Amino acid sequence: NGVKNILHIYRLLEKLSHLDIPLLIHGEATDSEIDIFDREAVFIEKTLAPLRKSIPELRIVLEHITTQEGVDYVSASQHNLGATITPHHLLINRNNMFLNGIRPHYYCLPLAKREVHRLALVNAAISGNPKFFLGTDSAPHLDNVKENACGCAGIFCAPTALSCLAHIFEKNSALNNLEKFVSLNGAKYYGLPANSKYTRLSKVETPMKQLKSVSIGKNKVTVFDPGFSLLWQHENI
């Protein structure tokens, strides 16, 4: 269930700051009384803001943000704060989980939120702002543990991630910022060199054949379905 009281690990966080090791954190409050759709906003207000005030030199990455509040807080920060965004949170909102029934393969944590939050994430991702970068949070689970009365959270988005992102950035006339979001912003924030290898994205006229699942023994893992035909193929060069 994660750390319930961050005050208990302040000495550790101070040490991370001294060593310039970034803290990568799933930023949601863990109190069960807090509405599950509000936990990111509550975490920012009650935990993250005081933490950054107490240890301002600690570099932090809010992993897989999902809300307008997350986007606004990161955008307004002066330094030492970045955020990752997943491909699926750019494409689905909470309605997708309940469209004509329960859709377990759209269930992940943190949960997809309202459409207004999805649009805020898209605007952040395509902006070129170096504080925002890709984190796929791709989480493959066997179908038999997803499709049951208490299914696992997680979306297996890795096989379609780049094609989905190219679609999003093209749709928003922002292909010029795709490389920054996918490859450059994160490396720069972590103080690492950009990858020396390249991937070529090419748009095709005929929709690509989408991989629907991956077989694992007698079971399978369902691949994230964005709900539209994929027209961007990629290859390593």
Q: Which residues are catalytic?
A: 137
Tell me, rounded to whole angstroms, the distance of Cα 49 from its chain centroid.
21
Using only the alpha carbons of the chain, give its radius of gyration: 18
| First-last CA distance in the chain | 41
Whether residue 105 contacts residue 225, with contact meaning beta carbons closer than 8 Å, is answered with yes
What single-letter amino acid sits at 120?
A
Strand order in the sheet with 132-134: 23-25, 60-62, 81-85, 132-134
Q: Which helix (H) or strand (E) holds 145?
A: helix 143-146
Whether residue 134 contacts residue 63, with contact meaning beta carbons closer than 8 Å, is answered with no
Tell me, rounded to whole angstroms, the distance of Cα 51 from its chain centroid.
22
Q: What is the largest CA-CA distance in the chain?
A: 56
